[in-house]
Amino acid sequence: MRDRYLALVDRHEVAWELAFAALAVVFVVVGFVDETPAITAVEFALTAVFTAEFVSRLACSYDRAAYLRGHWIDLAALVPTTRALRIARLLRLLRLVRAFAGIYRAAGHLTALAQHRGLMWLFAAWISVMAICSLALYAAENGLNETVRSPFDALWWGVVTLTTVGYGDVVPKTDEGRLAAMVLMLLGIGLFSAITATVTSFMLEARPIAREGSTAERLRDLQLLHEDGLVSAEEFDAKRQSLIDLL
């Protein structure tokens, strides 16, 4: 039974991770809807699903310590949340971290993106910081700040702040909102700078294959590009064979 379960997850891991990422987003969105018996039932059901998924995969894992190291965000996202305390409601944003972690793990199984895992991680972290800080602002300022009436207002503030445009039409007023702003400015802008530097470095280091020179030199360039992860295995085999044919 364990092997069958692990094989099922492994065979459908991309769809599995994306599905739970979507459920995590639903859980966060539901948290900002007025509480009703139906909403409470949905929250309870989603929490039960996340708990069952984490516990079952941990129990079936042959190396549980390694599983915990790779999925500690999933465990942190299981922290109980409550609507009674405003600061405690922010804990549900951990589920959003779970969503981005799932998207990252799913993307890691796609060959095209797996070649640039460093840049992919920076993009995922950048977007997640913006989304989490925007929702944190909404949770902290909703009902207390007349300029933050919907999650979209908070997202607008996040984009304006992250791009350093600074219109100033949405300004946090609570201590929690200011804390979210500080996190966004420190982490978000830093990550954006890292993405810019990484892309620039990638463009400068990329070496064209079709340059003047001997076929042997072009083969060497192709090998270097493949070792750097800039050329997929399929492209490497095809171009290598065409150059060998020239020799």
Residue 89 lies in a domain: yes
Residue 209 lies in a domain: no
What's the CA gap between 166 and 160, in Å, rounded? 6
pLDDT band at 207 (very low <50, low <70, confident <90, very high): very low
Is pLDDT of 130 > 80? yes
Is pLDDT of 234 > 50? yes
pLDDT of residue 67: 81
* DSSP secondary structure letter of residue 91: G
What's the CA gap between 129 and 190, in Å, rounded? 11
Tell me which of 88, 110, 132 is where a domain ends: 110
- Where residue 168 falls (left for φ over 0; alpha for ψ -120 to 50; beta otherwise) is left
Q: Which domain holds residue 219?
A: 215-246
Length of the chain: 247
What's the CA gap between 216 and 69, in Å, rounded? 45
Give the dihedral sign, CA 206/211/213/216: positive
**Into how many domains does the chain fold?**
2
Residue 81 lies in a domain: yes
Sequence-distant (≥ 6) Cβ neighbours of residue 25 within 8 angstroms: 95, 96, 99
pLDDT band at 228 (very low <50, low <70, confident <90, very high): low
What's the CA gap between 66 and 76, in Å, rounded? 16
% of the chain residues with pLDDT over 70 = 73
The pair of three-digit structure tokens given for residue 155, joined into one six-digit string:
């997202």
Tell me which of 79, 110, 141 is where a domain ends: 110
**Predicted confidence (pLDDT) per residue in 37-87, tens digit:** 888 888 888 888 888 988 998 888 878 888 888 777 777 777 666 555 555
The pair of three-digit structure tokens given for residue 186, joined into one six-digit string:
């420190």
- This prediction has a pTM of 0.45
Specify the 3-state DSSP secondary structure of 129: helix
The pair of three-digit structure tokens given for residue 177, joined into one six-digit string:
């909102």
User: Which residue type sits at 73?
Assistant: I
Residue 182 lies in a domain: no
Residue 126 lies in a domain: no
Residue 131 lies in a domain: no
Tell me which of 69, 95, 110 is where a domain ends: 110
